Structure 1
Amino acid sequence: MQEGEPVLRISGEIYGCVFTKQDFTNYDLKLKVKWGEKKWVPRIDEPRDSGILYNSQGECGVDYWHSWMLSQEFQVSEHQKGNAMGDFWCIANSSADIRASFDATKDTLKFNPTAAPVTMGKGGKGFCQAAANYELPNGQWNELELIHVNGKSIHLVNGHVVLAVDNSSFVVNGQRQPLTHGKIQLQSEAAEVYYKGIMIKPLDAMPKQYAQYFK
């Protein structure tokens, strides 16, 4: 308990996750997050890191760290070394289409709503930077929001759209299959982190103010 509110503390000492029992599809997820002080090997000198993994299916341990389920990642990361809240990662053999521009100086993709869609995963880039950094200073609570409807997702950080994900899928025998529902995982990834105010509500459709990101 902190200031009378229940708070989930993730120590970060091991790579792993806490995940829902329930399978979710078509929803608006909101939560608040702030960093603790502790960091652990192998990320002592790296930005603090966690993540919201959505559309999570199958067994844990199928990703590159042998810790998480097949899923899409709304990255929760300290803004350093090109990382930011709301970045996107393909976990295991997931895939998606994101409008992004290539930054040759950083050898990575960055969300750009006016750019052409880029297919993530499937042997290509598995990471895309958020459009901008809206993280508050360490010690303050950041409000994150994930809107997911029918394989389309919006990542918001403190009220700002930072990334849009289309055609959420996973690859089997070289073919993309829809990945539109699943459990929700919160990562433990070598940094102490706190979550609170976790709320989720069902949606019938993508809210109109976000439809422009999928035209």
Structure 2
Amino acid sequence: MYKMKYLKFNLLTVFVVVFSLLSSIAQSQNKKTGNKGFVKIFNGKNWDGWHLKLRNGDEAMAKKVYAIHNKKVHVYKNFPDSLDLETGENGTHGLFYTNKKYSKYILKFQYKWGKKIANNFKRWQYDAGVYYHIVDDKIWPTGIEYQVRYDHTKNRNHTGDLIRPKDVEYDWYAVPEGDTYLHPNEGGKLDESKNWLHFASPTKNYNALNNKWNQCEIIVMGDKYTIHKLNGEVVNVAFNLNPSEGIIGFQSETAEIYYKNIKIKEFSESLPIEEFLKN
């Protein structure tokens, strides 16, 4: 009986120690991956801290394209189910930009698709995105893009793709003889082509036209590296970024989209990439 009680006591002690250790690890991970210290940069009420731009330059229309409703940005809320389809008139392409520049940070946001379609939808289906490290606020700007897109004709996710406009540089690694991201430590080969579009690694972990939200993260440390995450999964990475800081912009493009919970955590120094690569 004494041995049984002693065994139970030891097991309980081991459980408490293991639980405490796991809790400490979890708290450490939360601190590293930024579950604390975030600041909302969109207040859900107005455009304080932001400015809006459309390709057609219409400031009044921009406020209509980027409607604020129920603490969300609802792109194309006040428009018909189809707008200027295949006319070449892409005037409502644009972005809402932060006024502030950022360099080292984690940006989190959520999005989901609506049903309305617009402009050159036939070529770029359910297309939007987030630019960062932007050095101007043109349409389209000079910066790095976290693509937000779903191609319903091929049932293919493109959210997390990297887009590199002219005058932007970064190093990107891909599957050998392929065109999707693979970390160099896992056999990825440096892309020498200098293409503008770099596909995220394939994943089934996304919500397309099911009225459910996607959680996105951009983890970027100045010129060191950028990580694109989708619903907690690392889907793309690039290194040696130029530019290394800038404003941030959320797109309106070919489809109705909702954005919410836009928040950021800044860092004064770059953190090692290894802290963020585990899903």
- TM-score w.r.t. length of structure 2: 0.62
Q: Mark the CA change 1:209 to 1:86 in structure 2 (over 3 Å): closer, same or farther.
A: same
Q: Mark the CA change 1:33 to 1:95 in structure 2 (over 3 Å): closer, same or farther.
A: same
Q: Residues 178-204 of structure 1, C-alpha deviation per residue, up to 9 Å, x if partnerless? A: x11000011111211100000101123
- 1:9 correspondence with 2:87: no
Q: Which residue of 1 aligns with 2:47?
A: none
Gapped runs of 5+ residues in structure 2? 1-43, 45-68, 84-91
Q: Residues 100-135 of structure 1, C-alpha deviation per residue, up to 9 Å, x if partnerless? A: 13656xxxx210112122256xxx311111012321
Q: Which residue of 2 aligns with 1:68?
A: 140
- 1:164 correspondence with 2:237: yes
Runs of 4+ in 1 over 4 A off after TM superposition: 79-83
2:124 & 2:101 partners in 1: Cα distance? Answer: 32
Alignment of 1:122-133 (within 5 A): 124-133=194-203
Q: Which residue of 2 aligns with 1:89?
A: 163
2:151 & 2:122 partners in 1: Cα distance? Answer: 15
Tell me if the contact between 1:83 and 1:129 (Cα under 8 Å) persists in the aligned partners. no
Q: Mark the CA change 1:102 to 1:125 in structure 2 (over 3 Å): closer, same or farther.
A: farther
* Higher RCO, 1 vs 2 (CA within 8 Å, ≥6 residues apart): 1
Tell me if the contact between 1:38 and 1:191 (Cα under 8 Å) persists in the aligned partners. yes
Please provide the CA RMSD for this pair. Answer: 2.3
Q: Residues 32-63 of structure 1, C-alpha deviation per residue, up to 9 Å, x if partnerless? A: 00001111121146420100101001241xxx
Q: Mark the CA change 1:59 to 1:186 in structure 2 (over 3 Å): closer, same or farther.
A: closer
Q: Which residue of 2 aligns with 1:63?
A: none
Structure having the larger proportion of residues in helix:
2
Q: How many correspondences in the alignment?
A: 188
| Letter matched to residue 197 of structure 2 | F
Tell me if the contact between 2:124 and 2:254 (Cα under 8 Å) persists in the aligned partners. no
Gapped runs of 5+ residues in structure 1? 61-66, 170-178
Q: CA deviation at 1:150?
A: 2.3
1:135 to 206, 220, 231: 206
